[in-house]
Amino acid sequence: MSEVRILKNYINGEWVESKSLEAIEVYNPATKEVIAKVPLSTKEELNDAAAVAENAFHEWKNVAVPKRARILFKFQQLLLENKEELAKIITIENGKSLNEALGEVQRGIENVEFAAGAPSLMMGDSLSSIATDVEGTNYRYPVGVVGGITPFNFPMMVPCWMFPMAIATGNTFIMKPSEKTPLLVEKLVELLEASGLPNGVFNVINGAHDVVNGILENEHIKAISFVGSKPVGEYVFKKGTDNLKRVQALTGAKNHTIVLNDAKLDLTVREIISAAFGSAGERCMAAAVITVQEGIYDEFIQKLQSESGNIKMGNGLDDGVFLGPVIREENKARTIQYIEEGEREGATVLLDGRNSSSDDGYFVGPTIFEDVKTDMKIWQDEIFAPVLSIVKVKDLKEGIKVANQSEFANGACLFTDSASSVRYFRENIDAGMLGINLGVPAPMAIFPFSGWKSSFFGSLHANGKDGVEFYTRKKVVTARYLEPEFSQEG
């Protein structure tokens, strides 16, 4: 048997071994095979990387913005050329199907394309006359070293919400990938190097809590982008802001979908199955609760139940597989505990994922509950697995009232043919990302990823103009220009 390799850190353009004596296993969740070991790097290693990034910042911030953008154009081209390989790495370390992984790579590339627009995105504004002979001009500058902390469920897309815009706007970056999916970033580094990114601009420190705490405390790190669960995001936001850093923390979710009597049934069921069970439900935009109006309820349930029963589960690399494993054994055990809890709380199991679960990998089949009430744990908690709860309501108003009781407010969807219902939904639902007749309302890179309530801590979201604002600070120049003196003859 060949020895499992231990991943390295990437500092100042070099892959270096961690000095830590601790390393944890990285698994292929579809086979339980150990595919690598990830070092639990120390705070000292993080601090060394931050000092390197701080040094690099002083040169990188002075590289002309169009020149920085050109590196990203090259990077985008290389990402496109390596799309299949990137997707395969994602499937192997995360478990999602190759199709889903290709979709993720595409979304990541769109972030790079957006960031390559830095020359126009960084443009400031000016007013030629704010008083007699006085004008005002607003310029944008990078903030310094940025730390990025990412979750396991999107090893490519989520880092791409952060570093392309951060470096395009002139910052340097330290990435702390999820210790469960740390492989993809190696390929990103290879392609960044091939794009001509100078040493020290993008650095990677592998690890877990200690590295995160190091990022929160380090004096050179001025801004932190976090994506992950609610308890960790809340901690990162509080501690990071206590240490006077700017922090954006995109956190957990429990997304609600409302299906009205006038919804198109085939489209609705197809979209909901994909949104609930795609990526094994391990998406912050997954459909978790479906609130269905009385008139369409029976027909909807029948179709949802029968089509969900046909889902092909297996290794995401195999043809036709739709549902891959959850990320780890403990996630599978936790999912099964939630299914048991749902039964104990009095919900009815329409489709039981325990029956189709398999021990070849961390597989749990699709699960559907009906008769779910808002005081049940399966309604309240983010389960982050292929478990769907159904609630019956009499109308849209009741559906919105149910959804708005959630502590989370990331995405919400409505299936209907009625424009007035769409407007009522938009005006009254508590959620930052809305979908109409579609299941996963993840905004494109040009818009902010704008969760509300406990789904987000901070004020500027990732992506869109918010992303540009987050990674830049402003200098406003107020200047008096006196009339030039001219010779009498002129």
Binding site for NAD(+), residues?
152, 176, 179-180, 251, 382
Residue 115: CB minimum distance to ligand NAD, A: 18
* Residue 66: count of CB within 10 angstroms of its CB: 11
Residues 6+ apart with CB under 8 A from 276: 286, 287, 288, 290, 366, 386, 388, 439
Q: Say which amino acid occupies 209.
A: H
Residue 228: CB minimum distance to ligand NAD, A: 3
Please, which residues bridge with residue 142 across strands?
472
The whole-angstrom separation of Cα 98 and Cα 88 is 7
Nearer to ligand NAD, 195 or 251 (CB): 251
Nearer to ligand NAD, 57 or 449 (CB): 449
* Residue 77: count of CB within 10 angstroms of its CB: 15
Rounded (10°) angle between helices 157-168 and 98-115: 10
Q: Which residues of 138-174 are buried (b: 16+ CB within 10 A; e: fewer)?
A: eebebbbbbbbbbbbbbbbbbbbbbbbbbbbbbbbbb
Residue 160: CB minimum distance to ligand NAD, A: 12
Residues catalogued as catalytic: 284
What is the DSSP secondary structure assignment for residue 281, as one 8-state letter? G
Q: Which residue sits closest to ligand NAD, CB atoms considered?
A: 228
Residue 168: CB minimum distance to ligand NAD, A: 20
The whole-angstrom separation of Cα 72 and Cα 75 is 5
Residues 6+ apart with CB under 8 A from 113: 76, 445
Q: Is 436 helix (H, G, I), strand (E, B) or coil?
A: strand
Q: At which residue do the structure tokens 């390197």 appear?
A: 52
Residues that bind ligand NAD (CB under 6 A): 149-154, 158, 176, 178-179, 208-209, 212, 227-229, 232, 250-253, 284, 382, 384, 410, 449, 451, 455
Residues 6+ apart with CB under 8 A from 180: 26, 93, 152, 327, 328
Nearer to ligand NAD, 227 or 393 (CB): 227
Residue 29: CB minimum distance to ligand NAD, A: 13
Please state the separation of Cα 442 from the chain's center in Å.
10
